[in-house]
Structure 1
Amino acid sequence: MNGRKLWAVRACFLVAFISLSGCAGGESVTSLDGDKEDESESTDGDSLHEDGDVILDGDAESHGDNDDSSDGDEAEICECQEGPCCKDGCHFDGTDVQCEENVEMEYGCPEGMGCGSSVMARSKSRNCSGASSACDGELGDWSDWALAQECGEHEVCVSGETECQENRPACDPAWCEAGSGSCCDDETNTLRGPEWICEAETEIEYGCPDGTGCGQDVKFRTKDRHCSGFETDCQGNLGAWSNWKLFEDCMPDQQCDSDAASCHDHQFHDEIRCVGLERYYYNECNVQEEYVDTCIDADPCSVDGCEQGVCGNESYTCNGHGVCNLENDYCTCSPEYTGPFCDSCAVGYYEYPVGSGICIDNPCLPDPCNGHGICGNSTGVAICNCEDPFGGLWCNECMADAFGTFPYCYVSPSGFCETNPCFPIPPTGQEKCYLAHDPWTETTCSGTPGEELCGSIEGCGQDAQFTPPEREFVCQDAGGDFPCADRATPAVGEVVLDTLTGMMWQRTIVEDKTWQQAIDYCEILAYAGHSDWRLPTIHEFRSITHYGLDTEPTINLEAFPGTAPLGFWSSTSDISNSAQAWNIGFYFGSTENWNEKTVPLFARCVRAGINHETSGNGGSSSGIRYSLTGPDDSLVVDAVTNLMWQRSYGYGKNWGNALKYCEQLELGGYDDWRVPNVNELASLVDYAISNLASGFPGGLGSAIENVWSSNSVSNQYLPGYALVVQFSMGNVLQSEKTELCYAKCVRDLD
């Protein structure tokens, strides 16, 4: 055998090989006893060894003359030829080789079995045994848990189950069983909300809301009971009183009696009163009784009068427009006047102004419409047809839909309030003053803004030294108002009413919303009995920022508990990039930025509010928001905020010098200028304008990065910073007080 190592071949393979294979180029085959019958050479290179093994290396064992042809190499014996654990057609795979995946599966709930939990799965796989080509080794360890199915908010994970199981009764706080009470919607198995009236006119009150005078009616009003929102029975709070409705119609000589809920008859007493120049008896319920007499006498040149039931007859002078004529008992009037007493305008003459008694030949001269309308006198009376945005009888007022105070009136176009403030400027909340030099710490407010010495006192003119507008946050639920501080954890259905802006805010918040999801969430929200919720604009969000707090979040936490300091979506898109939108963070005072709309952030909804946008006129605007006035048009009046601004600005001022600059400024005949607070300054930002962020006429531009406000950053970690508005972008930022920024002064419009 020449010491060669043979590969072992299974018996069945050997038999098949012997039965089917012949020696190429010869007439005989190799016998099982090892005797070779053919003396010719084999051409296929393979031969059978005498002990039954197959030699695969192509060197058949030689008999006779070729016995010494061994080259000294040993042939390797194969362990296998095929199978899932047979590698390279010859060797067994080791035990570290996986031959079958997911042999055993397990479904479970490693993250919990609560509502909205996920079904997870893990598996075991089989490895090769190392001694066989078949996949018959041991099972491996369990794999890591992997998500099999994400459950909905009304579904739970159950161990052993491959899919989420619905469990709405446990997962839906609003679920109820049909037929369980009047506050359960049997069609949807959903609890009715606090806006649902489950018992009408539960409480009735009778009264005299119009007073107890003669002829005043007895009325009544009611309260309805509402569902609580968390019970099936009618156990909720009583709603507000309804409007008063008629209960009993009292006669003119009767009086309303709320205690008896009926009309009470009045006793009469006699009193003489005048009706023109005639005198009558009246009772105490102002009902006319009998005629007494007349105050007209026979003197044609006397003025007959009746006052407080007493006649008076005085000589008259024809109202100063003529002389008494004794022959015909009437006045002879000047051409402009007519009538027995010259108290009317003659034909072709008109009274102007109305009620003055002065007759002129054209009531539209001089112009009674103040240059803002067209005067008509077809009826002999001057009537002004005012041009928008002016109104009033004489066009000396702003029309109802307009911003401003006459003559600075402005009707905004459609969509204006989506990128501009449409509400009174709110207070900043800052009540402390800070040093205008290092170490920048809190200090006593020095000087009095507006007085001559303030401009020479360091740090005078800060926002904390001015009286803020009155404002209150009122917390409400279905039961009415409640103290905000009494509920540190907001509950569903609670709202916050801002008495200054008129906006109603959702007290709770939601998280992990993309911009579009936040928009959709607020638009379909049915909350606290209202369905007109929307996502706030960036200006509206800034209105509830509290710049006086030195900790985060910078918002009134009694009114808005649980507010996160970062990342609330506004409805305001980035005008320069439609894939981005503005958001606000309640830290370091306030920080606005923009994010990709696909980023998940927090959301809080708002409704109502003071909104001057026009309606019914196609969204057209009229008037001017920014009016130029003063010497050389050096002043700008903003009709939206009723503020007067310096049109230009001061260059290269640190914060302390900016305060001095505005306090010392005398411009346009005014000396009460000041540095604006951050809300006043940010009111100039229009987020519909790209790369400028304001429609202010001159004095603001893309080159102006930061303009100082009068507000320091109250945060304890940034004592040397003040708030600025970056007009190249339109956001509120923080800047070191030593930096050189711009100063733009403001004053209240007189």
Structure 2
Amino acid sequence: MTIRPPTLSTARAILLPAFVTFSAQAGWAQQVTTSLVDTMQDHCFDLTGSAIDCPAKGEAFYGQDAQHPRLAASYADNGDGTVSDDNTGLVWQKTPQTKRLQFAEAASYCAALELGGLSNWRVPTIKELYSLADFRGELLKPEEGSPTPYIDTTVFDFEYPKAQMIFAGQYWSSTLYVKGPIINDENQGAFGFNFADGHIKAYGTGLNFFTGEAAASSGLANGPANGQAPGNYVRCVSGKENTYGVNAFVDNADGTVTDTATGRMWQQADDGTRREWDDALAYCEALDLGGHQDWYLPNSKELQSIVDYAKTTFPAIDTTVFGITQDSETLDYWTSTTFGDIKSHANVIVFGKALSKAGDQTEYTDWHGAGAQRSSIKTLKGQELTDEDLCSVNACDVDRADNLVRCVR
């Protein structure tokens, strides 16, 4: 059995072990049911993407991901083709399916899987799948060295695709995109995470989004003629369904909201101000709210944990407890996590439409889906956006340096 200990150069605080009970606010205690595993990002970066010595409190760029370490990843190789996550309690398939499957095929494959003495395998939800993301990953150009996938390959097997572009390392989740069609305003989408390039997005299932009368009138009730899409890989999971990633919000009536499932307290409403990344870090570090002064800019996994993927309307957050700016379609929120592939960018979680376009499209569409994790350039000071920043071979995302902020403690 191999258990991976924390591996960072400095001691990382191991906080919030699974199912610990603690007091989040005077007068009541809580039971943590979703243990948010750290991103494991262990370096600090400036606005241009250069690695720097992590700054001291009060200095520029203080408060980024590596400076607020949380629950370190801990996996056990069970020696039978399975890997246990000591933090989440989930059991994972060590070696994934080696060919791309359609969305329905992936569900059938996992349901039929028998491995490690277990037969209750399934496709993971997007929050379960994202728990495996390791943001020490980076997809380098061949001349720059060997890439590092966004997953711990000391315990999980992973191969970059051989017949396709190296960045095409997408894995299915079971989470359908329910807010509307993706890509061309027709396709049904399901979320996945790309362990090659470190993004969440919705991928075409091979069917159209239309249902009921809309489907009948469009003639697209059964989706495209062959019902096919490019397909994704799948890594099956075993564990109780509808437990991990289920929020339990409490409105504290002081401008804060506590998620008793994760043990995180959130700024209830963003202040409506768009900031560049360094200003976002400084804003959260200086925030005094609800009698607390230990706020910080959330890392990618923390912010993704409050996305409402089941909500059929925009924005992708529980608006019965959270306030959210509605000044435009681009409701992208900064995280403290630098994007490994282009370090002049930081990850954002998209709570509105995840806009992109490709080919002969003249208008941006909800290409990736609300709840996607993309990246934005940290600043436009002294920089110009290039096609390399904005576009992949498939699509060109909206890339803005001023995004919204919601702090956490």
Q: TM-score, structure 1 length as denominator?
A: 0.38
| Residues 291-343 of structure 1, C-alpha deviations (whole Å, 9 max, x = no match) | xxxxxxxxxxxxxxxxxxxxxxxxxxxxxxxxxxxxxxxxxxxxxxxxxxxxx
Q: Secondary structure at the match of 1:591?
A: strand
Aligned to 1:719: 343
Structure 1 stretches of 4+ moved >3 Å:
402-410, 609-613, 701-704
> Could you tell me which amino acid in structure 1 is paired with residue 136 of structure 2?
G
The aligned runs of 1:210-229 (5 Å cut-off) are none
> Could you tell me which amino acid in structure 2 is paired with residue 670 of structure 1?
H
Q: CA deviation at 1:516?
A: 0.7
Q: Secondary structure at the match of 2:274?
A: strand
Aligned to 1:431: 42
| Among candidates 317, 324, 329, match of residue 700 of structure 1 | 324
Q: Secondary structure at the match of 1:743?
A: coil
* Preserved contact between residue 199 and residue 372 of structure 2 (Cα < 8 Å): no
Q: Say yes or no: does 1:567 pair with 2:170.
A: yes
Aligned to 1:746: 408
Q: Secondary structure at the match of 1:477?
A: coil
> Could you tell me which amino acid in structure 1 is paired with residue 94 of structure 2?
R
- Cα distance in 2 for partners of 1:645, 1:680 equals 10
Q: Secondary structure at the match of 1:592?
A: strand
Percent of pairs with identical residues: 28
| Residues 603-649 of structure 1, C-alpha deviations (whole Å, 9 max, x = no match) | 11000269648xxxxxxx9xx93222254xx1111122111111122
Aligned to 1:153: none
Q: CA deviation at 1:701?
A: 5.6
- Structure 1 residues 612 and 544, CA gap change in structure 2 (3 angstroms): closer
- Structure 1 residues 472 and 554, CA gap change in structure 2 (3 angstroms): same
Aligned to 1:459: 61
Aligned to 1:629: 252
Q: Secondary structure at the match of 1:574?
A: strand
The aligned runs of 1:5-44 (5 Å cut-off) are none
Aligned to 2:112: 524
| Residues 391-445 of structure 1, C-alpha deviations (whole Å, 9 max, x = no match) | xxxxxxxxx9x999774769xxxxxxxxxx963111101000001x3x3300100
- Structure 1 residues 610 and 672, CA gap change in structure 2 (3 angstroms): farther
* Preserved contact between residue 403 and residue 640 of structure 1 (Cα < 8 Å): no
* Preserved contact between residue 501 and residue 610 of structure 1 (Cα < 8 Å): no
> Could you tell me which amino acid in structure 1 is paired with residue 264 of structure 2?
L
> Could you tell me which amino acid in structure 1 is paired with residue 234 of structure 2?
A
- Structure 1 residues 610 and 533, CA gap change in structure 2 (3 angstroms): closer
- Cα distance in 2 for partners of 1:743, 1:554 equals 25
- Structure 1 residues 461 and 742, CA gap change in structure 2 (3 angstroms): same
> Could you tell me which amino acid in structure 1 is paired with residue 374 of structure 2?
L
- Cα distance in 1 for partners of 2:84, 2:119 equals 16
Aligned to 1:544: 132
- Cα distance in 1 for partners of 2:92, 2:136 equals 21
| Among candidates 674, 679, 697, match of residue 301 of structure 2 | 679
Aligned to 2:266: 645
- Cα distance in 2 for partners of 1:459, 1:657 equals 8
- Cα distance in 1 for partners of 2:88, 2:43 equals 24
The aligned runs of 1:724-735 (5 Å cut-off) are 724-728=348-352, 729-735=370-376
- Cα distance in 2 for partners of 1:404, 1:526 equals 41
Count of residue pairs the alignment pairs up: 300
* Preserved contact between residue 317 and residue 351 of structure 2 (Cα < 8 Å): yes
| Among candidates 127, 151, 167, match of residue 555 of structure 1 | 151
* Preserved contact between residue 686 and residue 695 of structure 1 (Cα < 8 Å): yes
* Preserved contact between residue 545 and residue 554 of structure 1 (Cα < 8 Å): yes
- Structure 1 residues 552 and 595, CA gap change in structure 2 (3 angstroms): farther
Aligned to 2:234: 603
Q: CA deviation at 1:713?
A: 1.1
Q: CA deviation at 1:588?
A: 3.6
The aligned runs of 1:430-509 (5 Å cut-off) are 430-435=41-46, 437=47, 439-447=48-56, 454=57, 456-478=58-80, 494-509=81-96
- Structure 1 residues 443 and 434, CA gap change in structure 2 (3 angstroms): same
The aligned runs of 1:325-474 (5 Å cut-off) are 407=28, 423-435=34-46, 437=47, 439-447=48-56, 454=57, 456-474=58-76
* Preserved contact between residue 409 and residue 625 of structure 1 (Cα < 8 Å): no
> Could you tell me which amino acid in structure 2 is paired with residue 557 of structure 1?
T
Q: Which has the higher contact order (CA 8 A, sep 6+)?
A: 2
- Cα distance in 1 for partners of 2:241, 2:87 equals 9
Q: Secondary structure at the match of 2:373?
A: strand
> Could you tell me which amino acid in structure 1 is paired with residue 258 of structure 2?
V
- Structure 1 residues 695 and 667, CA gap change in structure 2 (3 angstroms): same
Q: Secondary structure at the match of 1:658?
A: helix
- Larger of the two Rg values belongs to structure: 1
The aligned runs of 1:187-336 (5 Å cut-off) are none
- Cα distance in 1 for partners of 2:35, 2:204 equals 28
- Cα distance in 1 for partners of 2:172, 2:198 equals 17
- Structure 1 residues 626 and 643, CA gap change in structure 2 (3 angstroms): same
> Could you tell me which amino acid in structure 2 is paired with residue 542 of structure 1?
Y
- Cα distance in 1 for partners of 2:103, 2:137 equals 28
- Structure 1 residues 563 and 407, CA gap change in structure 2 (3 angstroms): farther
- Cα distance in 2 for partners of 1:526, 1:635 equals 45
- Cα distance in 1 for partners of 2:37, 2:241 equals 13
Q: CA deviation at 1:573?
A: 1.0
- Cα distance in 2 for partners of 1:579, 1:742 equals 28
- Cα distance in 2 for partners of 1:658, 1:682 equals 17
- Cα distance in 2 for partners of 1:572, 1:475 equals 27
Q: Say yes or no: does 1:593 pair with 2:202.
A: yes
> Could you tell me which amino acid in structure 1 is paired with residue 408 of structure 2?
V
* Preserved contact between residue 40 and residue 73 of structure 2 (Cα < 8 Å): no
Q: Secondary structure at the match of 2:281?
A: helix
Q: CA deviation at 1:465?
A: 1.0
- Cα distance in 1 for partners of 2:194, 2:243 equals 27
Question: Which structure 1 residue ranges, 5 or more long, are not aligned?
Answer: 1-399, 411-420, 448-453, 479-493, 614-620
* Preserved contact between residue 643 and residue 746 of structure 1 (Cα < 8 Å): yes
- Cα distance in 1 for partners of 2:118, 2:197 equals 33
How much is the aligned-residue C-alpha RMSD, in angstroms? 2.7
> Could you tell me which amino acid in structure 1 is paired with residue 170 of structure 2?
G
- Structure 1 residues 653 and 701, CA gap change in structure 2 (3 angstroms): closer
Q: Secondary structure at the match of 2:335?
A: strand
- Cα distance in 2 for partners of 1:527, 1:588 equals 28
Aligned to 1:258: none
Aligned to 1:579: 188
Question: Which structure 2 residue ranges, 5 or more long, are not aligned?
Answer: 1-18, 139-146, 161-166, 182-186, 207-227, 353-369, 380-400
- Structure 1 residues 725 and 648, CA gap change in structure 2 (3 angstroms): same
Q: Secondary structure at the match of 1:526?
A: coil
Q: TM-score, structure 2 length as denominator?
A: 0.68
> Could you tell me which amino acid in structure 2 is paired with residue 711 of structure 1?
T
- Structure 1 residues 700 and 563, CA gap change in structure 2 (3 angstroms): farther
